[in-house]
Amino acid sequence: MRIKSCKKIGLLLGLMTAVFLIQAFPAQSAIDGLTGNTFTLTAKSGHISTGDGGSIFFWGLAGPSGTPQYPAPTLIVNQGETITINLTNQLAVPVSLVFPGQSGVLATGGVPGDLTNEASPSGGTVAYTFTATNPGTYTYHSGTNPDLQIEMGLVGVIIVRPYGYVPGDMMTYKAYDHMDSQYDREFLFFLSEMDPTFHQAVEFGQPVDTTTFKPVYWFINGRTAPDTMLEPNVAWLPSQPYNSMPSMHSQDKVLMRLVGGGRDSHPFHTHGNHVRVIARDGRLLSSGPGLGADLSRMEFTVTVAPGQTTDTIFRWTGEKMGWDIYGTTLPEFAHTCNGIPVEAVNPASAGFDSITNEYCPDHGKPFPVLLPSLQNLTFGGWYSGSPFLGAAGALPPGEGGLNPYAGFFFMWHSHNENEIVNNNIFPGGMLTMAVVQHSNVGIME
């Protein structure tokens, strides 16, 4: 059955919270990956897990851990540096790597292939060198039989930091060389899909007709829901180390690096607010040098095309909600709007308090509806018992438990609702949750 509306999806998800067996939200505000300018990757086979308990044979690239990953390790490099990727092939077929968006790539060693030099089966090597000229979000993937080898898992992401980026110095956090790309937190959303019949055929040495492609699994960062919401690097998902559960504070600028990692387009939808699309394929949406992302636009749902990268800024503020999202956690006598008593603030010129992040004209406004009694409510695991940010309330025994710090949770997912399943079982697939935390709640980097 195809579910037609986000409202129905939210209702079903609330009713089926029991399938999400996580203890509490895994706070995250950074992108995991390998840093430096020289990387050694090894093509290997392995198995990945799906949220319905499945196990799928795949080909992946292993970094220092020696374990093949899906997707391949995210390579985080600096603009202007010379980058070298040393590839060793332990598969029984030739393998190569290509780097869309990078110019002047030099391949050393290996044997000539259709697109670049290849590493021969069972131990062949090849090295690729290029200068990371432009900042942005890029992919890298096999250039040998890509219709099959990308599907099998030989695909990953390269993030090029702009000049001046300093880890830990939030004043330097920009995706590109312009303040229009400034952010407070960043997250990777590598969107892909799989047809397990291809993988089974490869595992058992049978021929594969890639024109019969019919995926039944959809992934964010190599995991299907509910595994998308587990912490990164959990021991029982050794080949799927990256999670995708963003945490943020009100007013944070959240950079979403969206990547089309497969052969299908995926419309990705963020509940809670629209997103501003600022760049595609490693280039700002700009009409000229120095003009920033002046061609950026707000989108309700971002369609991520195969092989495409899209950078967006998501920001949740609570502005003009019409009620005080903090409830009684900011008592009237203790709250001012940037030093001015809230009762003296002119709503026409008011903004956000610099300490509490509250939208000042909404301070003290009551919740607009009367909530029914506990006996008449259906609770999801992410409801704190209160509609106010940072406030918890009474819940029936056995209800709740996934929202210990009383944040606001929003479902982020593919808007092709048939993609939020695991082999036709809902919920699952290309789906995760994002959480806005009270400003008093720390978010781990």
| pLDDT single digits (tens) 95-145 | 999 999 999 999 999 999 999 999 999 999 999 999 999 999 999 999 999
pLDDT above 80: residue 439: yes
* DSSP code for 174: B
Alpha-carbon gap, residue 19 to 38, rounded angstroms: 42
Higher pLDDT, 13 or 175: 175
Q: Could you tell me the residue ranges of all domains in the chain?
A: 6-25+319-437, 34-314
Residues 72-100 pLDDT 10s: 999 999 999 999 999 999 999 999 999 99
Domain 34-314 annotated CATH 2.60.40.420: yes
The strand order across the sheet containing 75-78 reads 34-35, 75-78, 155-161, 136-141
- Decide if 12 contacts 392 (C-beta within 8 A): no
Residues facing residue 44 across a β-bridge = 60
Q: Which of 441, 445, 357 is nearest to 169 (CA)?
A: 445
What radius of gyration do the chain's Cα atoms show? 23
Pairing between strand 155-161 and 75-78? parallel
Each residue's pLDDT tens digit, 358-397: 899 998 888 998 888 777 777 788 899 899 999 988 888 8
Amino acid at 148: L
Across 140-161, average pLDDT: 98
What span, in angstroms and rounded, lies between the C-alpha atoms of 255 and 290? 20
